[in-house]
């Protein structure tokens, strides 16, 4: 088959890595793959032998989230037509008869103000598969598009929750496909001292960095009484964020860690090889409150490392169906109400909900504030993961300075005891490694990809109800303040 893979950019990691994995798998299987992007990859390693073409107008543009949507204006029509025409020309230059499939990554989030309109035009000529790694309706109004999504083309998602929600919003089973990501086996350097609980991610807001810092107080012997000497173990984050939105929050946590003398390292992936960083880990830690696919739950097992941390139900359930076990995970990190500032927290959540609903051109349902008030009045504890950075930092400071408070946290969160004196289960690690290789290997994902492509070549009649999709995702009781995009620092 002739497959075109479209994405905004080819920066390392994230969706770009998924695009590379798919292009490599297709090419090795004898298919013709062409990657079309807004820019060339900065790091060429891995892209050797992959057909690539570049359309600069595919890249992220500068429209700010809360401006009037430019795509609703007739003045944008010529630009949309030019973008669609340029992509179409690029496709025909490679294949005069055209591609069999145009596989588009993350098309429904508003990163390029012309893209959805251009896709509607391309759908008139080619079979489209629109694969969604994220959806703006999932509390992300900053990337919410103001126009209807393309109709009568095929869609793909990477977890079963998104699959279920899109069916509820109007798609039909023959036009919606569950397409998991390939999971690579991670390299690691054997024989290194294993001193790190490694968090191998970029330090963006939804990764819940404050919780990693709080957990660092419980990862060493004797309740992490590390002052007066070097820590025996650290919690280590590998990469900084790359966006202006996330950098201020990240810097705040770096400053807090230094001020409180926490056993934490930042940016360990910048000064050493990835194999060395993985080889220095005693386990992998995750405190993320939101994921699309969840590589961090899968990849470390292939390097012989256990994973522990926050359980994300809609992600982990998919993996458990494939045979993985997450025995050392926790569903919440409970903080006593007297320290959680419940009335302030309730006000912050209600304010965030009003802002989010408004950004989606919706109104917060009247019963929600009353329900929140009852919940916050009746609870004895609150999950650290729903709080914003202000409240989290005050709790972190108390935990760092007050041994009695740390003991109280351990009493109501028994999993914290096991962090201090961790004992790995070699059988669980091996069983999980085998499950990952069996279910998410290149050969397995290629089989799924080829089967989906055959289905995409068949016409389908369907459309997404924007209002119903919002109803599925906007569950006020699942809101995490660190799980939503930070405010745009450029907005006055």
Pairing state between β 154-157 and 234-239: unpaired
At residue 32, φ and ψ (nearest 5 deg) are: -100, 115
Measure the CA–CA gap between 216 and 236, rounded to whole angstroms.
9
Assigned domain for 211 exists: yes
Give residues with Cβ within 8 angstroms of 282, minimum separation 6: 194, 195, 196, 197, 233, 305, 422
Residues 160, 269, single domain; the answer is no
Q: What is the pLDDT of residue 289?
A: 96
Any long-range contacts for 42-48 (C-beta under 8 Å, 24+ apart)? Answer: 42/11, 42/12, 43/12, 46/20, 47/10, 47/20
Query: Contact, 263 vs 216, CB < 8 A?
Result: yes
Residues 169, 212, single domain; the answer is no
DSSP code string of 246-257:
THHHHHHHHHHH
CA 70, distance to chain mean position in Å, is 27
Residues 132, 229, single domain; the answer is no
Nearest to residue 481, comparing CAs of 203, 204, 137, 208? 208
Strand, helix or coil for residue 382? strand
Residues 208, 326, single domain; the answer is yes
Pairing state between β 334-336 and 381-383: antiparallel
Indicate which CATH number applies to the domain containing 296: 3.40.50
What stretches in the chain show pLDDT beneath 50? Answer: 64-75, 222-226, 489-492
Assigned domain for 324 exists: yes
Q: What is the pLDDT of residue 375?
A: 85
Torsion of CA 154, 295, 18, 81, to 10 degrees: 50
pLDDT digits (tens, 9 = 90+) for 310-345: 999 999 999 999 999 999 999 999 999 999 999 999
Query: Contact, 483 vs 139, CB < 8 A?
Result: yes
Assigned domain for 485 exists: no
pLDDT digits (tens, 9 = 90+) for 85-115: 999 999 999 999 999 999 999 999 999 999 9
Assigned domain for 221 exists: yes
Measure the CA–CA gap between 319 and 286, rounded to whole angstroms.
16
Q: What b/e string do you get for 157-166 counting C-beta neighbours within 10 Å, with b at 16 or more?
A: bbbebbbebb
Measure the CA–CA gap between 86 and 84, rounded to whole angstroms.
6
Number of domains observed in the structure of the chain: 2
At residue 297, φ and ψ (nearest 5 deg) are: -80, -15
Q: Per DSSP, what are the bridge partners of residue 196?
A: 234, 281
Measure the CA–CA gap between 466 and 468, rounded to whole angstroms.
6
Indicate which CATH number applies to the domain containing 149: 3.40.50.2000
Measure the CA–CA gap between 485 and 359, rounded to whole angstroms.
12
Q: Is 139 left (phi over 0), alpha (psi -120 to 50) or beta?
A: left
Residues 228, 324, single domain; the answer is yes
Residues 359, 449, single domain; the answer is no
DSSP assignment, residue 69?
P
Q: Check the CA dihedral 280-278-287-144 and report its sign.
A: positive
Residues 283, 340, single domain; the answer is yes
Assigned domain for 392 exists: yes
Q: What is the pLDDT of residue 490?
A: 39
Report if pTM > 0.85.
yes
Assigned domain for 128 exists: yes
Measure the CA–CA gap between 422 and 306, rounded to whole angstroms.
10
Residues 75, 60, single domain; the answer is yes
> With 0-12 CB in 10 A as exposed, 13-18 as middle and 19+ as buried, what is 458?
exposed
Q: Per DSSP, what are the bridge partners of residue 5?
A: 35, 103
Assigned domain for 250 exists: yes
Q: What is the pLDDT of residue 76?
A: 65
Domain containing 321 equals: 196-436
Torsion of CA 444, 448, 454, 456, to 10 degrees: -150
Q: What is the pLDDT of residue 230?
A: 57
At residue 385, φ and ψ (nearest 5 deg) are: -70, -15
């Amino acid at each position: 088959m002739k497959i075109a893979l479209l994405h905004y950019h080819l920066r390392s990691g994230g969706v770009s890595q998924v695009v590379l994995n798919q292009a490599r798998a297709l090419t090795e299987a004898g298919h013709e793959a062409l990657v079309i992007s807004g820019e060339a990859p900065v790091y060429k390693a891995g892209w050797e032998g992959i057909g690539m073409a570049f359309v600069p107008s595919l890249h992220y543009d500068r429209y700010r989230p809360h401006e009037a949507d430019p795509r609703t204006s007739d003045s944008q029509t010529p630009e949309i037509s030019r973008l669609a025409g340029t992509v179409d020309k690029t496709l025909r230059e490679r294949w005069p008869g055209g591609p069999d499939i145009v596989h588009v990554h993350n098309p429904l989030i508003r990163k390029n103000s012309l893209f959805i309109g251009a896709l509607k035009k391309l759908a008139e000529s080619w079979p489209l598969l629109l694969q969604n790694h994220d959806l703006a309706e999932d509390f992300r109004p900053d990337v919410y598009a103001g126009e209807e999504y393309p109709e009568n083309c095929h869609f793909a998602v990477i977890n079963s929750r998104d699959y279920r929600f899109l069916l509820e919003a109007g798609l039909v089973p023959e036009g919606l496909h569950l397409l998991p990501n390939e999971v690579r086996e991670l390299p690691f350097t054997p024989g290194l001292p294993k001193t790190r609980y490694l968090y191998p991610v970029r330090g963006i807001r939804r990764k819940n960095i404050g919780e990693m810092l709080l957990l660092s107080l419980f990862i060493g012997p004797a309740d992490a009484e590390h002052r007066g000497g070097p820590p025996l173990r650290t919690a280590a984050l590998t990469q900084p964020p790359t966006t202006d939105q996330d950098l201020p929050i990240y810097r705040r946590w770096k400053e807090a860690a230094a001020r409180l003398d926490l056993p934490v390292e930042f940016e360990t992936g910048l000064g050493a090889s990835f194999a060395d960083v993985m080889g220095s880990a005693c386990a992998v830690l995750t405190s993320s409150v939101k994921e699309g696919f969840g590589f961090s739950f899968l990849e470390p097992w292939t390097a012989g490392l256990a994973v522990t941390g926050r359980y994300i139900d809609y992600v982990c359930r998919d993996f458990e169906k494939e045979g993985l076990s997450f025995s050392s995970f926790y569903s919440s990190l409970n903080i006593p109400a007297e320290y959680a500032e419940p009335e302030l927290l309730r006000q912050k959540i209600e304010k965030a909900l009003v802002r989010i609903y408004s950004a989606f051109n919706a109104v917060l349902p009247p019963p929600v504030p009353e329900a929140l008030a009852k919940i916050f009045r009746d609870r004895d504890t609150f999950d650290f993961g729903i709080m914003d950075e202000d409240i989290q930092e005050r709790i972190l400071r108390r935990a760092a300075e007050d041994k009695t408070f740390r003991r109280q946290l351990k009493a109501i969160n028994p999993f914290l005891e096991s962090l201090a004196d961790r004992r790995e289960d070699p059988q669980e690690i091996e069983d999980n490694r085998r499950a990952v290789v069996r279910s998410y290997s290149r050969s397995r994902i290629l089989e799924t990809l080829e089967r989906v492509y055959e289905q995409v070549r068949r016409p389908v009649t369907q459309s997404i109800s924007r209002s119903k999709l919002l109803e599925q995702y906007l569950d006020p009781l699942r809101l995490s303040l660190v799980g939503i995009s930070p405010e745009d620092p450029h907005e006055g």
